[in-house]
Structure 1
Amino acid sequence: MKTNLSGQVEVLSALILELAALFPGGTQQAEHWRRILENLQTHFSEDRCRVAVVGTVKSGKSTLINSLLGRDLLKRGAGIVTAMITRVESGSRLQALLLFKNWEEVNGELNSALSFFPSPMLLERKGAFDIRRQADRELLVGVLAQVNQDQLLSQDMMDKNYVLVQSFLEGYSSIQEFLDEGRQRLELSEDQVVRHQQMVAHEALAVYLRDARLTAPFPWPAQGMELGDCQGSDSPIPQHLAQVQNYLIGADLVIYVISSRVGLRQADYKFLTDLKRMRLWDNCVFVINLDLNELEDATAAQKLVQRWQRELAAFQAEPPVFAFSALDNLLNRLKQQGVSLTPKDLGKLLTWESDAASTEFSRNEAARFEGYLREMLANRQTRLLLSGSLGQLQTVSQGVREWIALQNAFLSDNVAAFQTARERLERRRWPLESLMSSLGSAMQGGVQELKLELRQRLDRFFDFRHGDIGPIITRFIENYEGSLETLEIGEQVSAFMSGVYLVYQTFQQRLLLFLTEEINLKILDFIRLQEEWLQKRLTQVLEPLLSPLQDALNLYYQEIEGLGIPATAPRVATSPWTKPEALQPKLFSLEISLSWRIRSEALLRFGINLVGEALGRLKKLWRKQASKPKPDRLRASLADALQTIKTQTLGEMAASLLDYNEGLKFRYFFPLLEHLAQSQESALKSSLTALLLDFEGFQEALTEQSHQKAERRQQLVDLARRLEQLETASAALAAAASQVG
């Protein structure tokens, strides 16, 4: 349907060019029409349907995307510190774009990771680390060698800060020259895309990446689709979940991948609840990624689908569920393309195909799922048509039709009659143009009032003492006690460093998780409510301005009818509300992480000072109270350190929430308000200008000989016939779109 509309735009543009050639002196109106149509075509080409592929770690998200692409493209590592979503866009050829962090960002993450790091070598440190300095790299190697790695194990994996520092050091020599040149973009052609796979799969290189984007041809029509390969929803790192949330803000569809071997776990239900709170549940589709090695038969697969539909019905009645093996779908596609499979993969495929019924079920389900995606994409494009694109095309068509009719009528009159008609129409046109010229200033008054109202609403919500989330954050921090009683503590003063590091890291992770799972969602809900309120208030600002415009347009069209030309004034109304794809609110927990990285030197200094002073007090206490059990002394000192950290964090949170509030105003809501107001003003002026007739070039045609006039009239009749065919097709497209929409 999008292609049909694009074709109609091209046909109408060609008609306008022919019409302009008939009256060379009157090209201004034709140029305005063509600009409207060019903007429509640009809108079509830039439109993206964003599909987030989510699920727990190792559920098969990357394999699913590879199977949809029909190529083994995504090779993600299982690293624990790489917070990055790989985006794959539909395109005519395979290519990749890698975006790198700059040295300031790298050093910020490095110093933030070293806060409270359990190494005595850091206690003498006076300033921040810069990985570009050889002495700093050598010191960091010593720091990593000194710490007790056994104490940095959590959730069966190495501490993320240890891995982060280690990865930065390991990858430095490979990336140093590239970043020293000030380059942060690396574009890879089809024969170089293997470098993308090497970068994202190798932790020591991936830590230097900020973003990775791929463009690839799809084996089925997917123009405008973007697939986002998201981190696992059960990742132990809160920043990963925040990154996924950030991507979901602009998602049109969510594909939730469930491993048939694992099923739905507590982490899944928590994330599904978050999706519902984000108002994304109606846009979710579920894929059960079948393990054909464990599947008894096709009947068992059908029972799995029924089971998960029953479980998911707690969130939504009759959720769309598909069950197939993403790996079988991928390997089968590669085999059909003539790609040489490894003996292991070929063996899997042959084993699965020996159970014809199960394999047939899986592949039929995969085909049904791809059909669902195509239908979803087509329906979204249809909603795009109904949201204004088709209306703009029809407005231009109406203007062209009325212009042709007026030209034809004037070619039958003399110059005097033409001048009279022109004066009558321009007398009616002037009030309309005057109202249009004052539209911007009239709207700006309303915009300024709305900015003041917005400021007050945001300030109330984000007030740290009395707002909606500040007191919640305060209670969490004040009530946090950690698990000091269960913390294993040695009997040496040096054990304090490892203890305070674990206390700090646990507190920071719990706080970030709380901010991500609770505060982010509360803020997002507040943002959505303000967006709805903003559209409602802008409509109220616009309504008093539309009535005079409608009256003036009605009078203008009455004059056109008085000239014997059938015409009806269209309704003057607001356009559909849209916002730029690039304009999205930032998540609070991500802004907090960024703030900590920016202030990493201060955090590093705070940690060093706190540990140094506490160690000094401990050594004195050790000598004075030798009879008291040493672990108890250490535990008491850790409790004091935690209280100091909590006090410091409360101050950080108050400042961060204030900064976030101001950033949300000036980087999101105010630009959004300006955009919405400007787009409404531009749409109104553009539509009305498309209907106003331009008389330039007419008088020259009236002075021609009779046979020349007859020739022009014949050309106009031909243009009118072709335009009528176009309008008939446009009406049919509108009828089809309304049924889908």
Structure 2
Amino acid sequence: MTNTTTRLNSIEKIVNDMLTILHLIEELPQMTDTSCKEYQTLCRNIPEYIRAGWLKIAVVGVVKSGKSTFVNSLVGKELVKRGAGVLTSITTRIRKGKKNQANLYFKSWDDINSQLQKALILFPDNESGNDESDNNGFGTAIKDDFDIRRKKDRIYLKKAYQTLINDFSVTNDEIMPETILIRHALQGFDMCKDLVQADETLYCFESKEFDKHKPYTSDPDNAFYIKDVCLNIFGKIIDPNIEIADCQGADSTDPAQLAQILTYLESSNLIIYCISSRTGLRQSDMTFLKRIKNLGLLDNILFINNCDLTEHENLDDLIKIETSICANLEFLDIQPRIFSFSSLYNLFLKLESKLTKKDLSRLKLWQEEKKMVQYCDLKTREFESFFTQKIDKNRFELLISNHLKRLGIIIDQLDQRTNIFINLLSSDKLKEKAALETLKHLYQNASRLESIVANSIQGAVRGLKDEIDLNLKKAFVQDQLGILKKAGEYIRTASIDVEKYRLVVKESGFNQTLYLLFQDFKRKLDLYGIEQVNPQLKKIVEAQEKRITSYFQSLFDSYQIDLLKADHYSEFENMSNLTTQYSDFIDPVDIDKIKKILGLQLPTAMFEAKYTSKIKANVFADFGLQTLVQILSCMFDRKSGFSFSPGLEKAALKIKKKHQKLIKDQFEEYHMSLQTNYFIPLIEAGTREFKEKINERFNRYHSFKEEIEHFFSLKRSEKKDQKKKLLFIKQQIQRVAGDIASYSKITWK
């Protein structure tokens, strides 16, 4: 990472040398066309493109695995809050900046209210004091007109929260995410109410106020109101092309929070997974790593065994934990690259002059364990070396390689162009006349082809739309991957333990129990979507995007025009290279760029648990009937004990059966949304970009015809002077081409 500036300077030198060559070419009017201007623009932009590109590094792990401490040690600064308790409440992105600046992006009031409405979608409202409620005691006002800014709605929310914590027992898993979300909304309201606006809002803490971001990023109550956090750090402590993300604990039971973490991981270039040496690899780690594996993200992952030096009696004990972690990872077919060291010890070393007396004493105590410290120091150096190599490799592949290839293609095209004109200046009159006749004939053919292309693109692209439509029908209508079939089977076999809700029925009634049942089922379906459905959807979408790219590439290649062929101009050396000079070095369509410009995003979750009025009525009817049967049975057979379990099991079964039917509609809705709101706009935007590039190609052919005619009209003395300039340009081109080749092969090994 320390060589970034040097490497960027080397590329800038190549760019400046190429701009000098293009300037020399501009001094020869007959050699200049629109492509030269394009080359200049591209060359000037390349350094900025590299600076603007971000290598994303995600630091993940379960709660209390030392993620925040590791991030602080990596940058050598107490940047994010660490310590006892859960202190990372939102994924915090860190970048290099011109000054210390914490950028907090607050949600809109609509987003906040929508989250709370979803959390309370089934909440029993018969005692809320709300005038609007249905016959079964479920409030409708919370769904349609809830606004936490209103005092009466906050009072309602507080009553709902009290009901949840008083009447709804904590399950064997843990407190329901909906309960926690409501608590955060209530407790964070006063702190954040003046910062949240009607639209998403950016709020900055700069310079001396920088650390004021910590009460928001470390406090889950305040973090509820925040959508995104990005810390810009001044100084040399972080590479200018790297973004480090300190993620929340990955063992959250809230599917929404888990989805946010996985979304960032999908966009990351490197994952650093932290494991606490106090506990080793836990079941929650294994569960999360399985999710990462299902998304195909294990290629760029390394592991930190974050050592707590006070917990290990000796080095053997520490190595034993490391060995155990490796053995457990092998169960997931992971061949781990793992590094054991203490992030806190490394951080204290970097901040030694600023440590408190207590922390300084801890540091001195650790340093007495010489074998463990030496081992950790060794592993720290190994990590830093490996990390630097990994970053450099990814930087080259992501940020540098494509730009170097483009520079290489440009310099090759300029070389071919120079060779052609040098040979044209060396020709005699008889050859020039024959060349002009052939050029005229081929130019006429090119003009006819231009007209054909203009009229045929729409028809050709219609075929692409039909093909994508057919592929989507195979995936969704025919369910080739079995997404719908597997989801239906999952719902059918999903276990909902009704026994744990029996006390709730007795103490609080069926309304409260139904709330728990439904939310339990909803979380299961949400997690199933994240773990099983999303990876398959990703494959479907990527396959179609690749097909769109290859289709336009094939179409682009079919419109190649050989203005000069080797057999037509065998008397001119290097003439056969002319066609490649006019081949575009940029992809016919840039899918990623189009998606960013249009703001295209995949539809939201495919399968979503919903509790419609129809389902609710059926569930109540079945429960009432089953309970009545139980009561009658007890009356006629006093030996048989009364139980709510059969009624609850009937309710759970009804919820599952109704959702087996409901997901079929959701599957088709997702199919139509994906086609209408994603792929059709993508193809249409790609068609527009493709037509622009095709038109530019024909414009170049027009320019080339004029250039050749002008060259042939030059006098002998002018030709001699022009040839001398071209030979000098040729010399400069060869030098830059050598620099590009050597830089590509040597610097990034």
When normalised by structure 1's length, the TM-score is 0.81
Matched, 1:60 2:66: yes
What is the CA-CA distance between 1:320 and the residue it aligns to?
Answer: 1.7
Matched, 1:374 2:380: no
> How many angstroms apart in 2 are the aligned matches of 1:506 and 1:195?
37
Residue by residue over 1:216-237, the C-alpha shift from the partner in whole angstroms, topping out at 9 and shown as x without a partner, is 3585673422223333332222
What is the CA-CA distance between 1:552 and the residue it aligns to?
Answer: 0.8
* Corresponding residue for residue 580 of structure 1: 592
* Corresponding residue for residue 362 of structure 1: 376
Amino acid at match of 1:174: M
Structure 2 counterpart SS, 1:136: helix
* Contact persistence 1:92–1:217 (CA under 8 A): yes
For residue 668 of structure 2, the aligned residue among 658, 667, 690 is: 658
Matched, 1:12 2:5: no
Classify 1:359/1:202 alpha carbon distance in 2 versus 1 (closer, same or farther; 3 Å): same
* Corresponding residue for residue 281 of structure 2: 264
* Corresponding residue for residue 115 of structure 2: 109
For residue 306 of structure 2, the aligned residue among 259, 283, 289 is: 289
Structure 2 counterpart SS, 1:292: coil
If asked which structure has higher relative contact order (CA below 8 Å, sep 6+), I would say 1
Residue by residue over 1:577-631, the C-alpha shift from the partner in whole angstroms, topping out at 9 and shown as x without a partner, is 974276699688x6259x77xx8xx86x789978998999999999999958999
* Contact persistence 2:123–2:139 (CA under 8 A): no
Structure 2 counterpart SS, 1:58: coil
* Contact persistence 1:242–1:587 (CA under 8 A): no
Structure 2 counterpart SS, 1:323: strand
* Corresponding residue for residue 89 of structure 1: 95
**Aligned pairs for 1:126-275 within 5 A:** 126-128=140-142, 129-149=146-166, 151-154=168-171, 157-180=174-197, 182-216=199-233, 219=236, 222-275=239-292
* Corresponding residue for residue 518 of structure 1: 532
Structure 2 counterpart SS, 1:143: helix
Farther-moved stretch of structure 1 (340-349 vs 37-46): 37-46
Classify 1:179/1:617 alpha carbon distance in 2 versus 1 (closer, same or farther; 3 Å): farther
* Contact persistence 1:77–1:200 (CA under 8 A): no
Structure 2 counterpart SS, 1:53: strand
Flag structure 2 segments of 5+ consecutive residues without an equivalent: 1-6, 129-136
What is the CA-CA distance between 1:468 and the residue it aligns to?
Answer: 1.2
> How many angstroms apart in 1 are the aligned matches of 2:440 and 2:628?
95
Structure 1 counterpart SS, 2:562: helix
Classify 1:286/1:610 alpha carbon distance in 2 versus 1 (closer, same or farther; 3 Å): same
Residue by residue over 1:653-705, the C-alpha shift from the partner in whole angstroms, topping out at 9 and shown as x without a partner, is 33332232233334544555567777778778879988975856996998899
> How many angstroms apart in 2 are the aligned matches of 1:346 and 1:657?
59
Matched, 1:276 2:293: yes
Flag structure 1 segments of 5+ consecutive residues without an equivalent: none
Farther-moved stretch of structure 1 (402-411 vs 30-39): 402-411
> How many angstroms apart in 2 are the aligned matches of 1:77 and 1:359?
22
**Aligned pairs for 1:496-535 within 5 A:** 496-530=510-544, 534=547
What is the CA-CA distance between 1:522 and the residue it aligns to?
Answer: 3.4
Classify 1:736/1:421 alpha carbon distance in 2 versus 1 (closer, same or farther; 3 Å): farther
Farther-moved stretch of structure 1 (672-681 vs 712-721): 672-681
* Contact persistence 1:76–1:200 (CA under 8 A): no
Amino acid at match of 2:176: D
Structure 1 counterpart SS, 2:271: strand
> How many angstroms apart in 2 are the aligned matches of 1:683 and 1:299?
64
> How many angstroms apart in 1 are the aligned matches of 2:91 and 2:149?
27
* Contact persistence 1:560–1:567 (CA under 8 A): no
Matched, 1:546 2:560: no
> How many angstroms apart in 2 are the aligned matches of 1:731 and 1:686?
29
Classify 1:137/1:495 alpha carbon distance in 2 versus 1 (closer, same or farther; 3 Å): same
What is the CA-CA distance between 1:729 and the residue it aligns to?
Answer: 0.8
Structure 2 counterpart SS, 1:344: helix
What is the CA-CA distance between 1:393 and the residue it aligns to?
Answer: 1.5
Farther-moved stretch of structure 1 (687-696 vs 33-42): 687-696
For residue 725 of structure 1, the aligned residue among 714, 719, 735 is: 735
- Aligned-pair identity (%): 24
* Contact persistence 1:86–1:211 (CA under 8 A): yes
Classify 1:316/1:163 alpha carbon distance in 2 versus 1 (closer, same or farther; 3 Å): closer
* Corresponding residue for residue 4 of structure 2: none
> How many angstroms apart in 2 are the aligned matches of 1:516 and 1:686?
44
> How many angstroms apart in 2 are the aligned matches of 1:497 and 1:157?
20
* Contact persistence 1:29–1:694 (CA under 8 A): no
Structure 1 counterpart SS, 2:141: coil
What is the CA-CA distance between 1:250 and the residue it aligns to?
Answer: 2.5
What is the CA-CA distance between 1:140 and the residue it aligns to?
Answer: 2.3
* Corresponding residue for residue 50 of structure 2: 44
> How many angstroms apart in 1 are the aligned matches of 2:319 and 2:187?
48
Farther-moved stretch of structure 1 (425-434 vs 50-59): 425-434
What is the CA-CA distance between 1:302 and the residue it aligns to?
Answer: 4.6
When normalised by structure 2's length, the TM-score is 0.81
* Corresponding residue for residue 33 of structure 1: 39
> How many angstroms apart in 1 are the aligned matches of 2:676 and 2:14?
40
Structure 2 counterpart SS, 1:178: coil
* Contact persistence 2:96–2:239 (CA under 8 A): yes
> How many angstroms apart in 2 are the aligned matches of 1:200 and 1:629?
59
* Corresponding residue for residue 331 of structure 1: 348
Farther-moved stretch of structure 1 (429-438 vs 282-291): 429-438
What is the CA-CA distance between 1:420 and the residue it aligns to?
Answer: 8.4
Structure 2 counterpart SS, 1:281: coil
Residue by residue over 1:694-739, the C-alpha shift from the partner in whole angstroms, topping out at 9 and shown as x without a partner, is 8569969988996x988776655544332221111112234448x9
Residue by residue over 1:418-438, the C-alpha shift from the partner in whole angstroms, topping out at 9 and shown as x without a partner, is 898677656656656765786
Matched, 1:453 2:467: yes
Amino acid at match of 1:32: E
* Corresponding residue for residue 75 of structure 1: 81
Amino acid at match of 2:188: G
Number of residue pairs matched?
A: 724
* Contact persistence 1:702–1:709 (CA under 8 A): no
**Aligned pairs for 1:320-719 within 5 A:** 320-335=337-352, 338=353, 340-384=354-398, 388-404=402-418, 428=442, 431=445, 445-463=459-477, 468-480=482-494, 482-489=496-503, 492=506, 494-530=508-544, 534=547, 539=550, 542-543=553-554, 546=557, 549=560, 552=562, 555=565, 559=569, 562=572, 570=580, 579-580=591-592, 591=605, 632=642, 634-670=644-680, 693=704, 716-719=726-729
* Contact persistence 2:61–2:67 (CA under 8 A): yes
> How many angstroms apart in 2 are the aligned matches of 1:430 and 1:702?
21
